[in-house]
Amino acid sequence: MRRGLRSDPLSDTYERYALGLIRGPRRSERGPGRKRSPAGRRPSPPASLLARLEALSVKGWPERATLYTRSLPPGCVHCLDGRGSSISLTTLCNRDCFFCFNPRPRADVVSVHGRDVRSHAQAGRLLESLGVRSAGISGGEPLLFPARTLGLVKELRRRLPKLWIDVYTNGDLLTPRLLARLKAAGVDSLRLNLAANGYDPRPVRGALAVFPDLAVEMPVVPSDQGRLSALMGRLDGLGVRHLILHELFCSGHNAGLLRKAGCRTRARPRAFLTWSGVAASEASALRLVAEALEKKLRLSVYYCSTGTQQWIARKAWQT
């Protein structure tokens, strides 16, 4: 089924996880003389930082610099197993984060695993055919369209009762009523991007009462390491179980804004991906992981690197 899927046209509005999985050429399809650009290589984190993490008994995959302190969120477990997918409900958003790598101009198009779809049923059929165990409904901001989000969740729940469903949101539009409706429709958990609101944890409070297993998931802007450190402590105090940090991504859509913000970007993405990591983001993220271990936070902090994104992409491509 996956083999047939590769011949379907790709959505050109979706350049996040799932599209990155599919777009890369096979090794055998690359030109004979093509070599990886040195600029595309991911610099290793400092050896002293890795040694500090090892001494703190960090968990994970040091060879890909993907590490965590306590446990992984369920949706990530399936993703790391090559059984995760993403749905972009829209690329419209009520925010305009400088680091956002969604295509501009934004478009109100639904795509599943990098393919445009026209109905909830089509989305469900596609995920069913992929045999995935988890799916993240993201955007843009999916909660700009609550009826669409709820309708899709209900369809997925009907068709794939065991699918783990996360909804990604910046949290601005969450209300007690919407939280209850999301839960009733069959959403398992939320992923809150608090980088969008300047690291304000307020959306977490109400959401935790309905989704106790929610995760906060954000890119690490290197210059914001201090603010992220303060937020980690506040999330721990609130009883949040998971904080997911990822390397700040640079794509063709945010490269200019990232440069203006002082982020040094690499010239080319890694093979299989349509983005690359921003220099210094990884080291900042790993310092936060080390800090969480040193402070013995109950909050589990997980850093997912572009190295792991690449690994997942290759795995999905070769399956």
Residue-wise DSSP of 87-118:
EE--S--S---TT--S-SS-----EETTEE-S
Q: Which is nearer to ligand SF4, 69 or 170 (CB)?
A: 170
Number of residues that bind ligand SF4 (CB under 6 A): 12
**Which residue from 140, 269, 277, 307 is in contact with ligand SF4, where contact means CB under 6 A?**
140
Q: Name the H helices within the chain.
A: 2-5, 17-23, 47-55, 74-80, 120-130, 146-159, 176-185, 202-210, 225-238, 255-260, 281-294, 306-318
Q: Which residues pair with 165 in a beta bridge?
A: 135
Smaller CB distance to ligand SF4: residue 196 or 292?
196
Q: Which is nearer to ligand SF4, 69 or 276 (CB)?
A: 276
Q: Does 205 bind ligand SF4 (CB under 6 A)?
A: no
User: Distance from CA of residue 306 to its chain's centroid?
Assistant: 11
Q: Smallest distance from the beta carbon of 48 to ligand SF4, in angstroms?
A: 32
- Give the residue with the Cβ less far from ligand SF4, 195 or 292: 195
Determine whether 34 is exposed, middle or buried from the number of CB atoms within 10 Å of its CB (0-12, 13-18, 19+).
exposed
Nearest-approach distance from CB 140 to ligand SF4, in angstroms: 5
Residue 296 vs residues 59, 65, 68, 200: alpha-carbon distances, Å: 14, 20, 13, 23
Per-residue contact flags (x/-) with ligand SF4 for residues 161 to 180, judged by CB under 6 A: ---------x----------
Given 97, 107, 261, 271, the residue binding ligand SF4 (CB under 6 A): 97
- Footprint (CB under 6 A) of ligand SF4, residues 141-160: 141
Binding site for ligand SF4 (CB under 6 A): 93, 95-97, 100, 102, 139-141, 170, 193, 196
